Chains A and B, each alone.
Chain A
Amino acid sequence: MKLSRWIPLVPFAIIILLMEFLVRSKMIPNYLLPSPTEILKAFTEDSADLWKAAGETGLSALLGYLGSATLGLLLGIIFSSTRWIENAFYPYAIFFQTVPIIAIAPLLVIWFGYGMPTIIICTLIVSIFPIIASTLDGIRSTDHALIDLFKIYHARPLQKLFKLSLPFALPQIFVGLRISAGLAVIGAIVGEFIAGGGLGGIIDVARVRQRVDQVFAAVLLASAIGLIFVAGINLIASFALRHWHPSKKYAK
């Protein structure tokens, strides 16, 4: 493996050492910033709680994400099929992008109660718009010559969708899926702030008890879940799009 791949670890190590130094030398009080060793301690002391919470958050985020991927793809396809449907409903899809989720989360609790359903819906609301938008734009940007080709051979609308438009939109759809993967975890954490449980719940409780070490431990786990999501979708994308980009196997 190349040395350059490990370069990001250098600033990481510097920050860790600096944090440890600043807290130990009491330049920054440890109720504001925990030292890395304290965070590590929080990890080991509360490991059972933290991992359980991470599992809950991961599951909520995953279910919400699968929901938004399915629904977003479907809505993108429907919007792309007819101009008037897009004109009529797309503005409402933008609503999902602009709605301050933290403000409507209490409303969701009133409607769906405390716990997972509310958190999943939160995740879905936060992560659906990029998928709708990228699907719609991807399908709309289908090669016009190929649309003509399908017309010449009298392709039916569904043939055009599955053999041309959708595969053609795939690179763009994956852009949306990647953005949404990160958003899904954010949505789940925000949902948990209000509806309880998971890493969001732990952060909320630790905040009240002024346990910055626990907050940091939970935040690190939450971003780790986000990274796993994004890495997963990248893996799927690079497999699905493996024929898109030039490779030099046969070309002379």
Chain B
Amino acid sequence: MSQLAYLAPSSPEQAVIALSAAGARPLAGGTDLLVQLRAGRTKPDIIVDLKRVAGAIGVREEAGGFVVGAATSGAVLGEHARLSRIWPGVVEGAKLIGSTQVQGRASLGGNLCNASPAADGVPALIAARATCMIVGPNGQREAPVESIVTGPGQTSLGPGEFLLAFRLPPRPAFASDAYLRLTPRTEMDIAVAGAGVNLALDADGVVTQAHVAIGAVAPTALLVADAGAALVGSRLNEASLAAMEAAVRAACRPISDKRGTEEYRTRIAGVLARRAARIAYQRAGATL
């Protein structure tokens, strides 16, 4: 640790320069990075604190959607009334990360880029069709959330690139989302499986758009296109839910570990997706 430098750039450009140096690692809320530092699992030469970079913290409405700073803490997201009303699933995913203390620091950007297969913040973001605003040496680019994590602990971010913010798309009239996960305890545990579902309905309550994403059941969180497609055109009748559940289970490629066996995780992922779909449907139709 004796070689460890700390930088807190205030502009995205300065952050890119700092992160382009060999051995540089970005810091958001630090709830993963500081644990890894202490355990010696990461040995960076430079820590680049992104929390003072303009645009990395805060929630703003833009072009009918939301822009959420990647380093915004879960506590701030949970207190944002409009974001919580319009994207309840995204916010409940963020709020499931850790204790009150961890909520004061942990962010969706950090949760995504830490690249745990079980990250609770990620499936609902994917189901929301959120995109990442990434800044790097060649300027800014935008990429879908599901394209960022390539495997456990691995991301597609290039040298010097960092995640500045998420963009959540505009919402049609009758639309909502939900995220559910299973843990053996009620609080502060790592998901055995998780499912995020995002639905849009027409004025008759028929599903017009559906996106289903699952976590902790594969090396990365997955968008399951077949599962979403199974719900479109339905009012979540049993046949469509069963087809959705079957598509979710077919997509699962979990490991067996102390939290659950492959068989258990696969079965639970389907159950969670079904329940999350029902919650999202109820929320979306609440104003019909």
Bound together? no
Binding site for A on B (CB under 8 A): none
Binding site for B on A (CB under 8 A): none
